[in-house]
Structure 1
Amino acid sequence: MRPLSHGDPIRLGPYRLVGVLGEGGMGKVYLGRDNTGRSAAVKVLRPELAHDRHLAQRFVREAETARAVTSRGVAQVLDAQTEGGRPWIATEYLAGPTLDQAIAAHGPLDGPALRALGSALASTLQDIHRAGLIHRDLKPSNVVLTSGGPRVIDFGVARPEHGLTLTTTGQIPVTPGYGAPEQVLGQRVGPAADVFSLGAVLAHAASARPAYSGEHVAAVQFAVVHGSPDLGAVPPELRPLIEPCLARDPAQRPQPASVAAAFAPPRDAHRVWKRGPLADRIKEHEALAEQFATLPGTTAGDARPSRRRFLASLAAGGTVLALGGAGAAWWWTAEESELPAAADAPPADLLTAVALHESPRPLWGPLKVAAPQAAGMLPLRDVVMVAHPPGGLAAYKVTDGKHKWTLSEVSPSAGLLRLTEKLFVAGDDSGNVLAFDASTSERRWSVPADAENLLATAPDGGTVYVQTKDGQLSAVDVTSREVRWTRPAPAGARLDSAALGAAGAEHLVVCTGDGTYFAVGAATGEEAWTVERNASSATAPAVEDGVVYMGGKALTAVDLTSGDEIWSLASESLSSQADNWGPPTIDGSRLIAVDDGGGRVVDKVGGEVTSRFWLDGTEPPRTPAVVQGNTYWVVEGGTSSGVSAFGKPSSEHRDMLVWTYESASDDSGSDDSGSEGPGSEGPWYVAAAGNRVFLMNSGSLVALPVF
């Protein structure tokens, strides 16, 4: 990580750039942060090359090809701008070392770890090829090891399967030692070329040295075309699995599916990414990424640091990331900042100090915006959306609470879901699923789906899952604007309007009104697994990295694909009620959930309780906790006693109650005191974005600052 220098942009689209991750002949890769606090790797074409038509076309192709692959084994494209003077592509910022870095630090992978690597990479290649593409540059530096497993990056030279290798004078067509013989010779290549590269990568991972070497590039390329791989340091039991991948004849190489099957790892091999020396290195990267995402800064009472001071600290080794009060935040000075896009709200400042005995005032509100029984809200871009009486949807500016627009055509009772960084989806009385621009309320598309309840959207925004009016499941394909499939719920599960869902890349998880959890495949809707009556009522699941986390009778982590239990944490309560655990919330490597009135911070991998905080009530809330700034925001006393903010384990207010907000309801709509009042009847709803927390109770909406 290096600081920005003269000539580097400060902002690209929604991303504020904070440093340089790397650079090459075509451009630079920056670390960026959007208004929600999410980090991204932003790849930018160099200004002097942006007007080169061929290079610009290659850059456009990279964005298009990367978007076409939806496998969880690749870094997902978040956004792109391929026109204008500064084309850029934003992808997930993956926290972890590259494979070559890991091998240099820890030596070759052992048998189970290598099998896990080989199986994962082969499956990812299968997904890439299924999209009609060839990666063409698989090598150790293009594999990032994360806590969720290996991820493939860099689609800069990916081409459709029918593409020829294109080079210019003096340009090496492929990375020496990892490109297939047909690539070295400039011949037509197919998916088998990626299999050769996979074999070379696995040989390197198994032996800590390349399969092909030489004194110079030409010697390495000659060895690839005419020689044999050096597998002498590869464990004997693994050579028969790697050697076929390195056959000079493409027709003699196995298919990726066969490689994935041959490398099928032992049941617990995935733990290599979770525990041990390699996992510790991954956690170091995750911790650094989290520090970047939260932008910690000066201690309470210090003046705001300038951009220059921050970048100078980065240049000195990035130590600023470990300094300063955890309750504070670093942000740009007004003189040096760029205005955000008109449709995107800037993040609110984090409070730099907290007076524990004096609650800070709300940013705005409470405002009477909805009927008392109205449920749910969604902040997105520059607005927060809530149900509008007597029907429809209303949006209020997140910066000052002023009304921005109203939509009468939607039915809020069907649900409201974020689709992308700019779009949300809602339903109407006729069962249509509709997508709108959050900032302008402009309708983008509509699909007839007989929808009664919107359950979830896919992580890539490509699918909307709904419950139909006759109690079935449907998947709406966003690209084709059609219903992809409709199926009844699995046996033993009955869908109703209380059902809640969450989606991974390849599966949808639903919890029904009677607490039964089930998962179906994203492609076909076929049942993957069912856990009957794990709770007594609908309890929202949380999904990340192929694992689903469930509340209810126990806090449980389950493999998203198989339904196998990974770990389970029993309640510490003496109560006999069926549901002691509320819905979990994911915060990096941690889960936050309430166990019968006691908040628990739980290690996501092993299920151990690492920290605790205490609530007034004994009933777990039905609303998941919200993470924003350095605090967790949790509904107190089940549903009707207010919302409290607790310090994160990493903050200076570790596990402490920072303050409780109890007075969001006011008929006049003018009370903005934020003082601890008498409380309000009815449930509380919590949402957060841009260093703001939004609370709604009895139809009143208030925006609170974040610590």
Structure 2
Amino acid sequence: MDPLATGDPLRLGPYRLVGVLGAGGMGKVYLGRDAAGGTAAVKVLHPETAHDPHMAQRFVREAQAAQAVTSPGVARVLGAWTEGGRPWIATEFLAGPTLTEAVERHGPFDEAGVRALGAALARTLGDIHAAGLVHRDIKPSNIVLTSSGPRVIDFGIARPEHGLTLTTTGTNPVTPGYGAPEQVLGRRVGPPGDVFSLGAVLAFAATGRRAYDGTDVASIQYKVVHEEPDLAGLPAPLHALIAPCLAREPGHRPQPALVATAMAPPKGADRVWRRGPLAADIARREAAARELTMLAAAPTTTPGLSRRRLVTALVAGAATVAAAGGAGTWWYLRDGASAQQSLKADPPPPPQPWDAKPLTAGQYEEGRPPAELWGPVGTFPFAPAPLPVRDLVIAMTSDGLAAFSVRDGIPKWRVKSEQYGRFAGRSGIVATPFDGGRLVGLDATTGDERWSASVDADHVLAMDDEAVYFVNGAGSLHPSKITAFDFRSREIRWAVPHPDREPTHSDAALAVPARDRLVVYGRNGEVRALDTATGRTAWKLTQRPDGQDAVMPAVRDDMVYLGGKTLAAHRLDDGEKVWSLPSASFRVSPTLAGRASFQGWSGPTVDGSFLYALDSPVLHCLDRRTGKTVWTHRLDDRAYPPLTPPAVQGRTVWTVTGGSDSAALALDKQTGKPLWSYPWRGSVSPWLVGSGNRVFLSSNGSLTAMPVV
């Protein structure tokens, strides 16, 4: 949870707001406290969307739908206001993890756990349908596990059972892999659509994998409509119960009451949310929520506890609710405590089979670099940053694009037919051949070509779940553009002029997609935030002089952080500056070629409440909310290192030093104490990328995996 910011309301209806639980493109969710001391999650529309008739209608419909359902399996609505001003909905403040978090952190459920979960959710669906509604967005992230059982949340796209779909084919709101075939096709969605989603949810809970998966949204939706679900690994009894829910024809799916009866676990079987690590996780979160309520109720006249310090304490306490049982670093402020104690690091990600074991105190010697986990392996000297994808790391080599095992660096596949340029990816890879003219979708696991599109693509900038963003016309006689290619329609969504006059492969802009923005940092020093739906420039500003290298932006929540002549935090939606720090190193220094070179802040890296960035030769750790310094470390070599963002992994933060004795330096991320430096040689600026308790160092035609503590 974050503290209230300028422009946030202090009160909505009977609720005094004490912090921000989350934010999205539609609105914000606050933690509120009423006069009786009870807490609530208060959802409110953004001011700019409150006047949008479509958004307002959807918000009113959500409030009405949630209030219409009386069931122990849904988050109870405590109050709502939809008549004017800033509409809001107040619901129970549920402290448990979502089903997504539970499976990622504690693994798939056993058969009894899946049965208990399925029976409870089926009963809840029966209650929703009995109220004349269809939820239409049952998915793991909309199911919160509490000590009393699973609770269904978010009625944002729920509709009356006999209401007709208002959208056209392909535009219906649907979560890929969980929406029913009729929902994907834009047809009327009735109660059987929720049963299909339930089957997909239970398959995920039992295996940890989606029943319908793919490299992009379009391929997943195609599988939902035309192919059978992947239920490999399901025990035979569960397969017989879940498979009917995933029938393509709505009339072939069972009723929720039948599912609840068939799913009933054996008599005397414990509920999964009442035993084991998951139960302990839930108990810790709920205990933290109770303590949070007590803090919220504390009078602000208590000696040593000002209103500001109370809010800071609430922020720190809520981190325990949001994180996995307090896995993140957090403290309550008490007498004499410093403001830094409200900071928290990101909680450790859920463990994966391919993770490396962090080094313990006896496994490394301070001041001496530990042995490499593997490498170096050969790559292309001017390769872009390597890309970790699950148990593989993708890199460009002289032979083309290659995937190496993150465990041992053994090559798993190579694309030898063509050499690809810049690439991006998540579960799949999108790349461009060096001869241009195509976008190619590759299977991240095998390297096989899944699709291609004949477009004037020079190199890929970035991608999100809905589109890939690329540059066309770079280095040609034609004006270059930044273009969005829609995965679902396989068509160009929009194309806008490139901010750089003459972009090339080596001097390309850097971009990060987040929510409904694509933040582009050009070599001309200009930063633009483009609307991902239309390509319209939402805001722009200048961070560096023209002709200098672009600096990678960082985005977290509703903020974007930018290096350059200042290190600055701007609101993602409108670009409004929240804070900025001038660079002490921002000055002209001649290079060997006689050109003027500007340094300034490197690209920043976010870790929870912390922000790491290099203002040569000093590495800074700051509070990302205020820009205040937590610690600094001056590098030994005073030559200006490249603008590569630091990498955070485990308890370490890594940065690159410059000069003749260049190295990758590892420091304790909490104190800034140096642990060791690992030398790298060559003139090519290196990349540092962290994943799976490893830091991948890519430099001068080699890729090396280093351990962390």
How high is the TM-score relative to the length of structure 1? 0.54
Aligned partner of 2:397 in structure 1 is 388
Which residue among 350, 357, 360 is the counterpart of 1:349? Answer: 357
Change (3 A) 1:188 1:523: closer
| Residue 417 (1) aligns with residue 417 (2) | no
Q: Quote the offset at 1:462 in angstroms.
A: 1.2
Give the corresponding residue for 1:438.
444
Counterpart-to-counterpart distance in 2, 1:99 and 1:464: 36
Q: Secondary structure at the match of 1:451?
A: coil
Letter in structure 2 aligned against 1:505: R
Counterpart of 2:679?
A: 662
CA-to-aligned-CA distance 1:160-192 (integer Å, 9 cap, x gap): 99x94379xxxxxxx9xx999x99x9997999x
Unaligned 5+ segments in structure 2 are 1-22, 68-76, 78-89, 96-120, 136-150, 167-306, 330-340, 474-478, 590-597
Identity of aligned residues (%): 30
User: Is the CA contact (8 Å cut-off) linking 1:501 and 1:541 kept in structure 2?
Assistant: yes
CA distance in 1, matches of 2:562, 2:48: 26
Give the secondary structure class of the aligned counterpart of 2:515: coil
Contact 1:410-1:426 at 8 Å conserved across structures: no
Task: Write the letter of the residue equivalent to 1:426.
Answer: A
Q: 1:408 aligns with which of 404, 416, 430?
A: 416
Q: Deviation per CA, 1:651-682, whole angstroms, max 9, x where unpaired?
A: xxx2111111115xxxxxxxxxxxxxxx4443
Match of 2:691 in 1: 689
Counterpart of 1:503 in structure 2 is: 513
Query: Contact (CA 8 Å) 1:639, 1:682: kept in 2 or not?
Result: no
Q: Would the aligned equivalents of 2:568 and 2:580 in 1 still touch at CA under 8 Å?
A: yes
Equivalent residue in structure 2 for 1:561, among 556, 560, 573: 573
Q: Which position in structure 2 is the counterpart of 1:456?
A: 462
CA distance in 2, matches of 1:118, 1:349: 43
Q: What is the one-letter code of the residue matched to 2:429?
A: F
Going from structure 1 to structure 2, the CA distance change for 1:119 and 1:329 (only over 3 Å counts) comes to closer
Q: 1:14-72, CA deviations, whole angstroms, 9 ceiling, x for partnerless residues? A: xxxxxxxxxxxxxxxxxxxxxxxxxxxxxxxxxxxxxxxxxxxxxxxxxxxxxxxx964
Aligned to 2:369: 359
Structure 1 residue runs of 5 or longer lacking an equivalent are 1-69, 76-95, 146-153, 168-174, 192-273, 297-321, 333-339, 664-678
- Return the letter of the residue paired with 2:388: P
Who is 1:81 aligned against?
Answer: none
Partner of 2:524: 514
Task: Give the residue type in structure 2 aligned to 1:141.
Answer: T
CA distance in 2, matches of 1:584, 1:125: 38
Match status 1:572 vs 2:584 = yes
Q: Is the 8 A contact 2:688 2:698 kept in 1?
A: yes
2:564 to 547, 552, 576: 552
Distance, in Å, in 2 between the alignment partners of 1:128 and 1:347 is: 45
Match of 2:314 among 281, 284, 297: 281
Distance 1:625 1:546 in 2: 21
Structure 1 residues 277 and 527: alpha-carbon distance in aligned structure 2, compared to 1, 3 A threshold: same
With 561-570 and 278-287 compared, the bigger mean Cα shift is at: 278-287
Deviation of 1:143 (Å): 6.9
Q: Distance in 2 between matches of 1:160 and 1:291?
A: 30
Q: Contact 1:449/1:476 (CA < 8 Å) preserved in 2?
A: no
1:337-364 deviations in Å (ceiling 9; x for gaps): xxx7xxxx52111112142144321111
Listed as ranges, the matches of 1:59-458 within 5 Å are 72-73=25-26, 99=31, 102-103=33-34, 119=47, 126=54, 136-137=65-66, 139=77, 140-141=90-91, 164-165=132-133, 277-278=310-311, 280-286=313-319, 289=322, 346-353=354-361, 354-367=364-377, 369-389=378-398, 391-409=399-417, 411-413=419-421, 415-418=422-425, 420=426, 422-428=427-433, 429-458=435-464
Relative distance call for 1:638 and 1:434 in structure 2 (3 A) is farther
**Which one of the candidate residues 609, 621, 630 is aligned to 1:589?**
609
1:556/1:355 CA distance change after superposition, 3 Å: same
Tell me the residue number matched to 2:253. none
Contact 2:27–2:46 (CA under 8 A) maintained in structure 1: no
Work out whether 1:481 is the aligned partner of 2:490.
Answer: yes
Q: Which residue of 1 aligns with 2:651?
A: 630
**d(CA) in 2 for partners of 1:359, 1:278:** 42
Instruction: Give the secondary-structure state (helix, strand or coil) at the position aligned to 1:283.
Output: helix
The 8 Å contact of residues 73 and 120 in structure 1, kept in 2 or not, is answered as: no
Task: State the distance in 2 between where 1:695 and 1:513 align.
Answer: 24
Q: Mark the CA change 1:618 to 1:106 in structure 2 (over 3 Å): closer, same or farther.
A: farther
Structure 1 residues 440 and 609: CA distance shift in structure 2, 3 A? same
| Structure 1 residue matching 2:365: 3-state secondary structure | coil
Report the residue type matching 1:541 in the other structure: P
Instruction: Give, in whole Å, the separation in 2 of the partners of 1:640 and 1:425.
Output: 36
CA distance in 1, matches of 2:520, 2:380: 28
SS across alignment from 1:137: helix
Report the more deviating stretch, 558-567 or 113-122.
113-122
- Shift of the 530–295 alpha-carbon distance from structure 1 to 2, 3 Å rule, reads closer
Report the TM-score, using the length of structure 2 for normalisation. Answer: 0.54
Partner-residue secondary structure (3-state), 2:91: helix
In structure 2, do the counterparts of structure 1 residues 408 and 451 end up closer, same or farther at CA, with 3 Å as the change threshold? same
| Deviations 1:535-560, CA, capped at 9 Å, x for gaps | 53211111222222111101011222
The number of residues matched between the two structures is 445
Rate the CA distance shift 1:573–1:680 in 2: closer, same or farther, 3 A: closer
Is the 8 Å Cα contact of residues 294 and 629 (structure 1) preserved in structure 2? no
Equivalent pair of 2:642/2:685 in contact (CA under 8 Å) = no
